Copies of this chain bind each other. A is one copy, B any other.
Amino acid sequence: MLLNLSARIRKSPFHQATLDSGVKGFTVYNRMYMPTYYVSPEEDYWPLIRSVSLWDVAVERQVEITGPDAAKFVQLLTPRNLSKCKVGQCKYVLITAEDGGIVNDPVLLRLAENHFWLSLADSDVLLYAKGVAVHSGLDVTLCEPDVSPVQVQGPHSADTLAALFGDWINELQYFHCREAELHGIPLLVSRTGWSGEKGFEVYLRDGSRGTELWERIMRAGQPYGIAPGSPSQIRRIEAGIYSYGADMTTENNPFEIGLGRLVDTELEADFIGKAALQRIKEAGVTRKLVGVEIDGEPLPAGLEDCLVFDGNSSVGKLTSSVYSPRLKQNLGFAMVPLRLTEPGTALDLRTPEGTRSATVVPMPFFDLDKQLAKS
């Protein structure tokens, strides 16, 4: 598909660097161009699981929340209990609407008592938050700061970044972050990522220095075989990581996505969607997102409009799918009625190219920690 450049769609501060690194495909995410592959999605996957991979994810726009009521406002936006979130911590949270529908699934970063970032998936939470703020009576300032992350993911991600920042990289705990500087480039580093591999995000805080940061990380990773890459559909599906907009939308509540652990309906503080989520939790859900293994030849990339049939009626759909070259297996997520969620259940998939059989299986498909424990 040919994508026409448009002034409506913004370029990342790393855009030129990714072109120089040989990027071949793009998608649009939060109204910005995002690289999708360099050699091929499969070829880009091997460095990610074997060495280290650098991704331009400037499309993860930040919503910055500051002001005297910032902490209270952030809690208003999410059903996750934030009372124990300390400065320097990150939390995977859901933003929910009044009906309990999921608006986004960002990573929350607490930079100071009243200084937060929401590192967004693909939906405009800044507009949503501005709407919420209007009559909230809370004193907050909301903006999109000049912040653009890259992800450094893979077994040698820590080695790569330790070469630049020093040994504290090895001590940075999972879902913690720290402000940093590199030859005067203002940054923040977090031990987070979207791969299931060991990994970090490096948040550039000066958009004019994207190329410089990109090149410094590429040089530091060279001894470890670093390669340019992008969010890997293969690796994230192996890890059971969901993609907002595909695997969940505003039409889904957290319980049917299996993310009930991110909802504290007993929380004393108020949050948007509390009443609806209490009701849904009590009543139970009627459908759920499950992992599936799909029979047959490797599925084509970007398979769409793949429905789950029960007899002659469509009862659900495949939300994501990919062929894992490591597991030599087609994997996917499917939203199905509760009666079809038990592991072992056989599903009948109808794709534009024909019928496939699938089986419900437990997730994740590939668990790095378990694999490491075995070896």
Indicate if A328 sits at the interface (CB-CB under 8 A). Answer: no
- Whole-angstrom distance between the alpha carbons of A313 and B1 in the complex? 39
Residues facing B in A99-132 (CB within 8 A) are 103, 122-125, 127-132
Indicate if A28 sits at the interface (CB-CB under 8 A). Answer: yes
Indicate if A245 sits at the interface (CB-CB under 8 A). Answer: yes
The residue that A130 contacts in the complex, of B4, B11, B98, with Cβ under 8 A, is B98
Indicate if A239 sits at the interface (CB-CB under 8 A). Answer: no
Provide the residues of chain B in CB contact with A124, threshold 8 Å. 123-124, 127-128
Indicate if A146 sits at the interface (CB-CB under 8 A). Answer: no
Oligomer: number of copies: 2
B304/A5 in contact, CB under 8 A: yes
**How close is A94's CB to chain B, nearest CB, in angstroms?**
14
Interface magnitude class on chain A: 35 or more
Provide the residues of chain B in CB contact with A320, threshold 8 Å. 7
Indicate if A188 sits at the interface (CB-CB under 8 A). Answer: no
Provide the residues of chain B in CB contact with A6, threshold 8 Å. 27, 246, 302
Indicate if A255 sits at the interface (CB-CB under 8 A). Answer: no
- Return the CB mask of A286-330 against B: 1 if under 8 Å, else 0: 000000000000000110100000000000000110000000000
The residue that A245 contacts in the complex, of B7, B29, B130, with Cβ under 8 A, is B7
- Whole-angstrom distance between the alpha carbons of A297 and B80 in the complex? 57
- Whole-angstrom distance between the alpha carbons of A129 and B239 in the complex? 35
- Whole-angstrom distance between the alpha carbons of A24 and B4 in the complex? 10
Query: Which stretch from A133-141, A160-168, A258-266 is at the chain B interface?
Result: A133-141
Indicate if A183 sits at the interface (CB-CB under 8 A). Answer: no
Indicate if A225 sits at the interface (CB-CB under 8 A). Answer: no
Q: Contacts A131-B132, A246-B8 given: A3-B31 contact, CB under 8 Å?
A: no
The residue that A3 contacts in the complex, of B1, B243, B319, with Cβ under 8 A, is B1
- Whole-angstrom distance between the alpha carbons of A305 and B97 in the complex? 37
A319/B7 in contact, CB under 8 A: yes
Q: Contacts A27-B9, A127-B127, A128-B127 given: A98-B133 contact, CB under 8 Å?
A: yes
Residues facing B in A1-43 (CB within 8 A) are 1-9, 11, 24-29, 31, 33, 36-37
**How close is A250's CB to chain B, nearest CB, in angstroms?**
8
Closest 5 pairs (CB-CB, A-B): A131-B131, A3-B3, A8-B245, A28-B28, A135-B135
Supply 15 further A-B pairs (C-beta < 8 A) apart from A4-B302, A123-B124, A124-B127.
A1-B4, A1-B5, A2-B25, A4-B25, A4-B26, A7-B245, A7-B302, A31-B245, A103-B127, A129-B131, A131-B132, A132-B134, A132-B135, A134-B272, A135-B137
Can you list 13 pairs linking A and B with CB atoms under 8 Å apart?
Answer: A1-B2, A1-B4, A1-B33, A3-B25, A4-B36, A7-B245, A8-B243, A8-B245, A9-B28, A103-B127, A124-B128, A131-B133, A134-B272
